Amino acid sequence: MDVGLAVPQYGRFATLRSTLDVARAAEEMGFAGLWAGDRLMTPLRSKDRYPGGGGIPEAHRVFLDPFAVLSVAASATSTIGLGTSALNACWYPPPVLARSLTTIDHLSGGRLAVGLGLGWSSDEYAAVGVPWHDRAKRYEATLDALEAIWTTDPVWFEHELWTIAPSHIEPKPARRPPLYLAGFSGPALRRIGRRADGWLTAALPIPVLTAMWRTVCESAEQAGRDPGALRMVMRCNPVITDQGSPPRSGTVAEIAAYLATAAEAGVHELILDLQLTATSDQHLLELAADIRSRL
């Protein structure tokens, strides 16, 4: 299992120094990738339940832009992978989203993996002026438009939501970026099997994880695709404590034991997000190294 890190982006880690220092150190230490998330705001009274239960983490009140953070990380490194886990795809017009992603891929020498999701907050959709209803339809159209922009020249795309007149849209990515999709519902999992290169998941109980992965693989087979070519990429954001319940919380040894079991269950890559529990850049790196050494 490859092990990557969430790039410093929120809470006490939302600083230029943290992004630069952790990105450089992660590359030197041999981590596989640096991944950025996408959070716009913290409503005082959220209309929707935060995934996994509980409230929105206090640290998410300060959250840096994912494109900017990955650009900074790209400038400070030369070989480590870069990824989004996950962008809320429907917030962005497809040509704008494609330009931002392609720019990072182009300037980093082809190191980008694109992870997209639908998001969970209707408050955030309202803030960016995007309808909450029919978001799955908008999501599918966004994926279609990205594929057209990345792989054809000239680009021509017509949909009831957007029209791209026959145009040159350059540059193209160094290679078509791997496309990972997030989601846990039946339709989301089947979509991943039909059209993605892999699944962006959260740290779930292992039986739940494997059952959902079977749905992804069955959908791939039904679409005539090779399920063995798909990757399962799991984000884990534990709180390190002596009294916890993995995978959400626990000692380093307990979290590592869960992650080792997840690897045996088929997880190909881990995104270790320690920004909710680390107290400094150095502490974050030490925790990451300790967990990785136990896998």
pLDDT tens digits, residue range 222-243? 999 999 999 999 999 999 999 8
The DSSP-derived string for 226-287 is: -GGG-EEEEEE-PEE-SS--TTTEE-HHHHHHHHHHHHHTT--EEEE--TTT-SSHHHHHHH
Average pLDDT, the chain: 97
Q: Distance between the two ends of the chain, CA-based, in angstroms?
A: 9
Q: Which domain holds residue 140?
A: 2-293
Which CATH number do you get for residue 21? Answer: 3.20.20.30
What's the domain count of the chain? 1
What distance lies between CA 265 and its chain's CA centroid? 20
Question: 0.75 exceeded by the pTM?
Answer: yes
DSSP-based three-state secondary structure for 201: strand
DSSP-based three-state secondary structure for 162: coil
The pLDDT value given to residue 112: 98
Confidence label for 4 from pLDDT (cuts 50, 70 and 90) = very high
